[in-house]
A and B are shown apart, each in its own frame.
Chain A
Amino acid sequence: MTDMLQNFKKSILVSIWFVFLTFPLMVVRVNTMNQVVVWRWTNLVWVAIGSFVLSYLWRYMLARQQVRKKVADEGGEIRSKTQLLLEDMSFRYKAMGIILLAALVFPLVFDTYQSTIMISALIYVVLGLGLNITVGLAGLLDLGYVAFFGVGAYSYALLNHHFDLGFWISLPIGGFLGCLFGVLLGFPILRLRGDYLAIVTLGFGMIFKVVMENWDSLSFGPSGIANIDKPGFFGIDLNLANSTIYIYYIMIGMVIFTILVTTRLRNSRIGRAWIAMREDEIACVAMGIDIARTKLSAYALGAFWAGMVGVLFASKTTFINPASFTFMESAIILSIVVLGGMGSILGVIIGAFFLILLPEYMRAFSEYRMLAFGAAMVLMMIFRPQGIISNLRQTYEYKGSKEKINNG
């Protein structure tokens, strides 16, 4: 009984505190241009009720988190049913087959508009998987990832504009240039620790945008580059609907390619080195792993995908300008990786669909999109730091794994 009263009192206090906190920004709207003040008192009521309810939820979630931590500390491992299911290979193959089939018939069933949305979601899947190498596997926070995307997009736009190069030739060039910039960025910051890295990469992202805005002779400044060619289809001109479907299939191919390569990398000698570096850099170097080379490869391979998908982005929109490559884009890609589950390929794919499609289909809430992203990043870190799909355990087959059970 006293417990309930205590909770009630706490929530009332929280509610009062937030009413105080949000008062000037939520209630008063002053327009110093036209000299008018609007008082929005109803907002006050919403804040009061909202924070009262949320404070209960907050405490409940924190308490649950505590219990879970305790169990984990005592060595008890909590593996959910989904995790076990996902570790089952035959289930995985079946699921992949169904998803692939659905993906292939999608543009035939739905209209051009839906396909366009799906293309942008798939672009973010590739971006997410690329950043997942740098952030998720290697643990190097990169806040300027969008710059590599921009490098790819601009390289196709410029090659197309000046030399009339086609999409298919530019695709590997874009990827390669992304790689190159990844290495260029990686070199000076090899020695930096996590937090410094974040700020320097953020700086690089902003430098890219500023340079593109001002270097008119190269990039045509803020007005951007228009009339970029769409991908060619054996020299046949496609109408809008067909070319969208064509790009959709290219994108599906690219996603499959990305998944294949990143999975193989993850389960290779290099991938293990990345993860080990993320887990403990000193132990990693003491095991004979060259940190500099491992870091550079993580940057380069992460940037590769951004560069490549940048080419596709430019060919899809046929117009690019620096405004497409802001910090917010980097933040969205980062939240895809964080929410999906750092290091988890499946998680990142789900995260990308979730974060890109949800605001698309819930237009009414689209202005709250970034607000929700921000809040989700905080809440995920507190309540589910491992993301939607947490680190799946990699199991290996070895000789005599059966015999041992009897002896051990």
Chain B
Amino acid sequence: MEYFLELFFGGLTRGSIYALIALGYTMVYGIIQLINFAHGEIYMIGAFVALIVAGVCTIYGLSGVSILILAGIIAVIYASAYGYTLEKIAYRPLRGAPRLSPLISAIGMSIFLQNYVLLAQTSDFLPFPRLIPDFAFMEPVAHIIGSPELVILVTTFITMILLTLLIKKTRVGKAMRATQQDMNMARLVGINVDRIISLTFVIGSALAAIGGVLVASYIGQVNFYIGFLAGVKAFTAAVLGGIGSIPGAVLGGLVLGWAESFAAGYISSAYEDVFTFGLLVVILILRPAGILGKASKQKV
């Protein structure tokens, strides 16, 4: 039972990170029907920037949770800036092009960003300073769920609530939903669609960066390649939940997190990634629209 709970919370933690990244995929897909292949790289850049900030701070003698928060904020700012620039350079000129074009552009951007970080920094894994202390009140349950996990869960939860409020309650959120439903109509009623698309990239990137910082401080190391696998898995989560659907992305992330955690715990950890993709293939065959997605009829 204890082992089960440990796997359960491990899966929950992992799943909530997938959910954070998956949200970026789903929001972008919802608006411009593009798999933003470089999204995983934005997550990696977020983690790397946080590492640099935290690393510089610890070397100059600062430490503690406040540094983590500072690193997180700067990481979010930078990831958003990268997401914004990415859209402007690689996707905006391709609006209205055949569907394969922006997708290939996205793959190119993903390769570019990976190698940019590799060349500008290093190919080695860099240790991320330990900034989350062990909370005393967590001691009795520490063998099931540790302090870093708690921090991740709480942060993710708060972020999701803020995102929901943004989308449901604000003017901008309404404009985003309108654009998602019908871009041309939204443009006709005076919504600046280009701005909304940029904003979607900014928000998605910010969420990915939060995920990146949390993972980096949890796992304790960062490298230029971490974005690729995380990106693919988060995309799987988004498809699982039904791409384009925000609650779907969260649900998909959690399902994937649990599936991986239990499969690795009870069956075999070497084949963890095989389970992920196996799940993806099965879902796509049985229910191509995902768990919460709506089947769309193509217009003829």
Contact = CB atoms under 8 A, between A and B. Distances in A.
Contacts of B110: 374
Given A375-B112, A378-B112, A382-B93, A24 B52 contact: yes
Interface in B71-117: 74, 78, 81-82, 85, 89-90, 93-94, 97-105, 107-117
B56 A28 contact: yes
Interface residues of B, number: 71
B121 A25 contact: yes
A217 B126 CA distance: 34
A194 interface: yes
B236 A32 contact: no
A20 B81 contact: yes
The 3 A-B pairs at the shortest CB distance, nearest first, are namely: A377-B108, A374-B112, A203-B277
Given A30-B55, A32-B55, A194-B103, A25 B93 contact: no
Contact of B273 (A62, A139, A192, A207): A207
A141 B94 contact: no
Contacts of B98: 385
Most A-side CB within 10 Å, residue of B81, B104, B280: B104
A37 B105 contact: no
Contacts of A327: 228
Interface stretch (A76-84, A160-168, A354-362, A364-372): A364-372
B121 A29 contact: yes
B288 interface: yes
18 contacts: A24-B78, A25-B120, A25-B121, A32-B59, A32-B129, A33-B127, A36-B59, A37-B56, A192-B284, A203-B236, A210-B274, A214-B271, A370-B114, A371-B115, A373-B111, A374-B111, A376-B108, A381-B108
B53 interface: yes
Interface string A114-142: 00000000000000000000000001010
Contacts of A328: 111
Nearest to A383: B93
B119 interface: yes
Contact of B52 (A30, A192, A370, A373): A30
Contacts of A251: none
Contact of A200 (B58, B81, B124, B281): B281
Say which size band chain A's interface belongs to. Answer: 35 or more
A198 B126 contact: no
Contacts of A334: 104, 107
B85 A21 contact: yes
Contacts of B209: none
A189 interface: yes
B184 to A, nearest CB: 19
A371 B85 CA distance: 17
A139 to B, nearest CB: 7
B51 interface: yes
Contact of B232 (A25, A188, A199, A335): A199
A196 to B, nearest CB: 6
Most B-side CB within 10 Å, residue of A31, A36, A139: A31
Contacts of A375: 108, 112
A179 B180 CA distance: 41
Nearest to A61: B93
B35 interface: yes
Interface of B: 29, 33-35, 45, 48-49, 51-53, 55-56, 58-59, 74, 78, 81-82, 85, 89-90, 93-94, 97-105, 107-117, 119-122, 124, 126-129, 228, 232, 235-236, 239, 270-271, 273-274, 276-278, 280-281, 284-285, 288, 298, 300
A48 to B, nearest CB: 15
A62 B93 contact: yes
Contacts, number: 178
B47 to A, nearest CB: 12
Most B-side CB within 10 Å, residue of A29, A189, A371: A371
B52 A196 contact: no
A331 interface: yes
Nearest to B117: A25
A21 B98 CA distance: 30
Contact of A24 (B49, B112, B280, B281): B49
B281 A188 contact: yes
Contact of B126 (A33, A141, A282, A378): A33
Given A195-B35, A199-B239, A206-B232, 19 more contacts: A21-B81, A21-B85, A24-B78, A28-B52, A30-B51, A32-B127, A33-B124, A37-B55, A141-B100, A195-B34, A199-B35, A199-B232, A210-B273, A210-B274, A214-B271, A334-B107, A368-B119, A374-B108, A374-B112
A249 interface: no
Given A28-B56, A30-B52, A195-B103, A203 B280 contact: yes
Given A24-B53, A25-B45, A370 B284 contact: no
Contacts of B58: 32, 35
Given A194-B100, A199-B235, A381 B94 contact: yes
A25 B97 contact: no
A21 B82 contact: yes
Contacts of A191: 285, 288
Nearest to A204: B277
A174 to B, nearest CB: 24
A376 B119 CA distance: 17
Nearest to A185: B281
Nearest to B89: A378
B59 A35 contact: yes
A192 B288 CA distance: 7
Contacts of B122: 29, 31
Contacts of A373: 108, 111
Most B-side CB within 10 Å, residue of A29, A30, A202, A335: A30
A336 to B, nearest CB: 12
Contacts of B270: 210, 213-214
